[in-house]
Amino acid sequence: MPESDSFSMIRLTPPGAAAIATVRAEGTGAVGAVAAEVRARSGKPLERWPTDRPILALFGAEPGEPVIVHRRDDAVELHCHGGPAAVARIECALADAGAARVEWQEWARRQAAGPVAAEARIALAQARTERTAAILLDQFGGSSDRAMAEVERLLAAGNRPAARERIQALLARAEVGRHLIDPWRVVLAGRPNVGKSSLMNAILGYERAIVHPTPGTTRDALAATTAVDGWPVELTDTAGLSAEAPGRPADAVLRGGTALARERLAAADLVVLVFDRAAALAGEEAQWLRAWPEALRVDNKCDLPPAPGPRPATIATSALRGEGIADLLGHISACLVPEPPPPGAAVPFTEGQRARLHAMAERLDSGAR
């Protein structure tokens, strides 16, 4: 790993075409290497440019690549066109001058105040929603470090019950931390033609799944990522769970779709069982209610007259008219995150942090020091 004061270059923007890309050169010799390549309209050398003031310049041989140069003591940031050719030209010139490439994740670790802050900074780049980014920003600002320091203070004072209580409070937020980057998996399931695909499209706000009156149209598991109350969610529409669609013989594709649906259900964080309010409850549907007792139950097609007979307590929706969708989203959010962490709360968001907390809890339970 290069030393922190060695001449290195870091691409601070994602790879691929974009409007603007940023390459940072830092360490011993960085300013001189960039100075040899850039020229401003004023003709003043880079070493005499004011720090923390962006300057429009050209990089490289004529005609030159237009760049905005931002000098920061022994570091220089070059903002150029976001196409790969412009970035490659700058990086090749810096490499020829002796710069070593450093990945942005490693650079972020060097810049952070501590390991948790470094992990939070890296995770922030992958945050999918403003709500999860705000939680990660709290961890970057020291919320987790302060919480662990308090646990260690209590242990040093011999107050083991209070320390264990703090640890359990942190572990109670571990599931939220697990999904700050990776979305929760929510799976829609039910008989063919109950309106799962229409319901998915109504939640997403666009047509992700094909909707057709023929039962069994959905043969695969269709997934799309969205946000529910600010929480990232991967929503999956599955094939009907019946072994064969009404009026149609079962085939290998349909059976494969049903098997895939059950795989997705087994890995789901939340199952949403969808029923047709206009149809009587079938025997296999009663079995599903027993198989997934924690599932959300949705009575779709509430715009149609209800079928006679008893029905489970459900959320009434009409995917066709958009009725009950907001209520359904509220229930999904409450099931996924019953107690959202307050602003500034410590939330363990990596496997290492969670493992450390579990190990501490186990040692406290065993009476170990």
In the block, tokens 């019953």 appear at 338
Task: For residues 333-339, give the mean pLDDT.
Answer: 96
Decide which of 111, 132, 164 is a domain's last residue: 111
Please answer whether residues 200 and 284 qualify as being in contact, where contact means their C-beta atoms are separated by less than 8 angstroms.
no
In this structure, the answer to whether residues 93 and 162 fall within a common structural domain is no
pLDDT at 1 over 50: no
Q: Quick one: pLDDT at residue 154? A: 94
Of 369 and 345, more confident: 345
- Find out whether the peptide bond into 305 is cis, omega within 30 degrees of 0: no
Claim to verify: residue 196 and residue 320 sit in the same structural domain: yes
140 within some domain = yes
Q: Which domain holds residue 67?
A: 8-111
Question: Is residue 106 domain-shared with residue 196, that is, in the same domain?
Answer: no
Please name which of 279, 211, 282 lies closest in space to residue 241, comparing C-alpha atoms. Answer: 282
Total domains, the chain:
3
Same domain, 144 and 56: no
Give the torsion sign (CA, 214, 215, 220, 222).
positive
- Confidence band for 69, pLDDT divided at 50, 70 and 90: very high
Q: What is the pLDDT of residues 12-53, one digit of tens each?
A: 998 877 789 999 999 999 999 999 999 998 888 888 888 878
Is 1 part of a structural domain of the chain?
Answer: no
Assigned domain for 179 exists: no
Asked, for residue 198, whether it belongs to a domain, the answer is yes
**Res 5: pLDDT:** 78
Task: Indicate the residue among 87, 111, 135 that finishes a domain.
Answer: 111
Are 332 and 206 members of one domain?
yes
242 CB-side CA count, 13 A? 20
How does pLDDT run across 103-132, given as a tens digit for each residue?
A: 999 998 888 888 999 999 999 999 999 999
| pLDDT number for residue 4 | 58
Digit-coded pLDDT (tens) for 228-273:
999 999 999 987 776 444 444 455 445 555 667 778 888 899 999 9
Signed CA dihedral, 187, 193, 194, 200: sign only:
positive
Task: Please state the rounded mean pLDDT for residues 327-356.
Answer: 96
Asked if residue 251 is part of any domain, the answer here is yes
In SS3 terms, the chain reads as CCCCCCCEEEECCCCCCCCEEEEEEECCCHHHHHHCCEEECCCCCHHHCCCCCCEEEEECCCCCEEEEEEEECCEEEEEEECCHHHHHHHHHHHHHCCCEECCHHHHHHHHCCCHHHHHHHHHHCCCCCHHHHHHHHHHHCCHHHHHHHHHHHHHHCCCHHHHHHHHHHHHCCHHHHHCCCCCEEEEEEECCCCCHHHHHHHHHCCCCCCCCCCCCCCCCCEEEEEEECCEEEEEEECCCCCCCCCCCCCCHHHHHHHHHHHHHHHCCCEEEEEEECCCCCCHHHHHHHHHCCCCEEEEECCCCCCCCCCCCCCEECECCCCECHHHHHHHHHHHHCCCCCCCCCCCCCCHHHHHHHHHHHHHHHHCCC
CATH number, position 29 = 3.30.1360.120
- Residue 64 in any domain: the answer is yes
Q: How much of the chain exceeds pLDDT 90, in percent?
A: 63
Of residues 108, 77, 87, the one with CA closest to residue 18:
87
**201 and 321, same domain (yes or no):** yes
pLDDT at 341 over 60: yes
Q: Among the listed ranges 74-83, 149-158, 176-185, 220-229, which one has the minimum average pLDDT value? A: 220-229
**For the domain that residue 332 is a member of, what is the CATH number?**
3.40.50.300
* Pair (305, 353) in one structural domain: no
Strand partners, 20: 81
pLDDT at 211: 47
Look at 41-50, 82-91, 158-167, 183-192 and tell me which has the smallest mean pLDDT: 41-50
Residue 178 lies in a domain: no
| Same domain assignment for residues 190 and 311 | yes
Pair 348, 289 in one domain: no
Highest mean pLDDT among 107-116, 317-326, 359-368: 317-326
Q: Which residue has the higher pLDDT, 64 or 219?
A: 64
The residue among 111, 137, 152 that closes a domain is 111
The answer as to whether 346 is a domain residue is yes
User: In the predicted model, what is the mean pLDDT of the chain?
Assistant: 87
